[in-house]
Amino acid sequence: MKIAFILFDGMTFLDFAGFYDVICRLGQFEAGKGLEWDICGISDEVTDELGLKMKTGRVMPDLSAYDLVFVPGGLGTRKLRLDEIFIDWLRGAAAAPYKVSVCTGSLLLGAAGFLQGCGATTNPSAYSLLEPYCHNVVKARIVQHGNVITGGGVSTSIDLGLYVLSLLAGEEAMRVVKQQIDYPYITQEIVQWQ
């Protein structure tokens, strides 16, 4: 199992952090044995929408080599969805078994063409921006359409991490991780859309 986390200028840091923290705990279970991940971007350093600078470990790797490609959101998505270099690179994830986004990361999955015919979600403030990219905007916290899984706004990142972890490693693994991260909440509004 190999995961690509896509970072970019103007991203919302928590969109990434919740999913990253949870899903990287997959490695402790049998189903996640040999788990690897890369922090990826179109440059070797990115700045989030509040000014924090992070290093990417891989610059524009071939995304078809990953099992799961994760895209966070943030104000930077408004411009980035029109950036041909970024979107062409993201299209390389077409063959990746899982494509996952939080918040307005779904606009980027959409711009890459991955949401055609799909039900998908995003931050409730951005439902109208998502409409042109998918078949149906589903107003739910998590929407799974096959192996394309989109999440709602910012804090959904933790719930989405737990959901994907449960898909890959089962309910009991999810329960263990919830305890490790001291998370008492139960995710509502998970929609399987077909």
Scanning 13-21, 81-89, 106-114, 132-140 for contacts with its own copies by CB under 8 A, the matching segment is 13-21
14 contacts its own copies (rule: CB under 8 A): yes
Alpha carbon distance 157, 178 (integer Å): 13
Scanning 59-67, 83-91, 105-113, 120-128 for contacts with its own copies by CB under 8 A, the matching segment is 120-128
Q: Which of 156, 163, 165, 168 binds its own copies (CB under 8 A)?
A: 156
User: Helices 13-23 and 156-169 meet at what angle, rounded to 10?
Assistant: 30
Q: Which of 120, 130, 152, 166 binds its own copies (CB under 8 A)?
A: 152
Scanning 78-86, 88-96, 127-135, 175-183 for contacts with its own copies by CB under 8 A, the matching segment is 175-183
Give the nearer residue to its own copies in terms of CB position, either 45 or 88: 45
76 contacts its own copies (rule: CB under 8 A): no
From the DSSP assignment, how many helices (H) and strands (E) are in the chain? 7, 12
* Neighbouring-strand partners of residue 2: 36
39 contacts its own copies (rule: CB under 8 A): yes
Whether 40 is a known active-site residue: answer no
50 contacts its own copies (rule: CB under 8 A): yes
Give the nearer residue to its own copies in terms of CB position, either 64 or 185: 185
166 contacts its own copies (rule: CB under 8 A): no
* Minimum CB distance to its own copies, residue 53 (Å): 4
Residues 60 and 42 sit within 8 Å (Cβ to Cβ): yes
H or E element at residue 149: strand 148-151
Sheet with strand 98-101: strands edge to edge: 58-59, 36-41, 2-6, 68-71, 98-101, 148-151, 142-145, 190-192
- If you compute the radius of gyration of the chain from its CA atoms, what whole number of angstroms results? 15
